[in-house]
Amino acid sequence: MSRLLIVRHGEAEGNREHRFIGQSNVPLTEFGRAQVTLLTQRLSGLGISRVVSSDLRRAADTVIPTAEALGMEIRYDKRLREIANGEWANLTAVDVEARWPDLWNRYRDGEDVDRPGGESWADVQTRAVEAIEELVEMLDDDETVLVGTHAGPAIGILRWAIGLPREGTLWGGPFGKLHNTSISTISVPGPRLQTLNDTGHLESTGGLVV
């Protein structure tokens, strides 16, 4: 039995404004880098044998310190990127509602809409799960793999772990918001969800949770 540590990146530019960052290659904020320092301290003692990550800067910079501490190379996989927002990229909800009111109402009501020029959540879950299933196939027994990714792909992977279909918006499921640098653990083969949205490395410091 192996385990996957699904980690959302640290706070990135645009997160606090709730922008549709998607595949925009924004960096971590100073606050996000502080979160990553605490995350690295925790991950370094968990027996990680492989590190896989989205190639977007904020995800890569979240797991690079752990990989360096353990003397490991990172395998980057574009399928672990956040959703392609198309024309919604870097906009806020207010912006999107003003420009696409009908589409926004459908999105807000839980429909998995295609962003103009971009993807749907089903697209994201399909590619992220494909990446994870291929990863699981190559694992030896009893490995611990760090997977650096984003909220959308992470939730898609968690839905796969509990057998939810690829229907509707990802935010309409049972998981709620995944915090920056949260760890969710899946055991494989199975799969089986073991832990969800664990931010213990942040909470003990007095509130570096966003």
96-111: per-residue pLDDT in tens?
999 999 999 999 998 9
Q: Please report where in the chains the tokens 């896989």 appear, as a residue.
A: 52
CB neighbour burial string for 71-104, b if at least 16 within 10 angstroms, e if fewer:
eeebebbebbbbbbbeebbebeeeebeeebeebb
Indicate the angle between helix axes 57-70 and 30-43, nearest 10 degrees: 40
Strand 144-149 relative to strand 50-53: parallel, antiparallel, unpaired?
parallel
Give pLDDT, residue 208.
Answer: 58
Model pTM?
0.94
pLDDT at 114: 94
- Angle value at C-alpha 79, between 45 and 153, nearest 5 degrees: 65
| CATH class of domain segment(s) 2-84+120-203 | alpha beta
DSSP-derived pairing of the beta strands 183-188 and 2-8:
antiparallel
> Would you give the DSSP letter of residue 133?
H
Token reading at 46: 């968990």
Q: Check pLDDT > 80 for residue 168.
A: no
What is residue 206's predicted lDDT score, i.e. its pLDDT?
Answer: 56
Residue 87 DSSP symbol: G
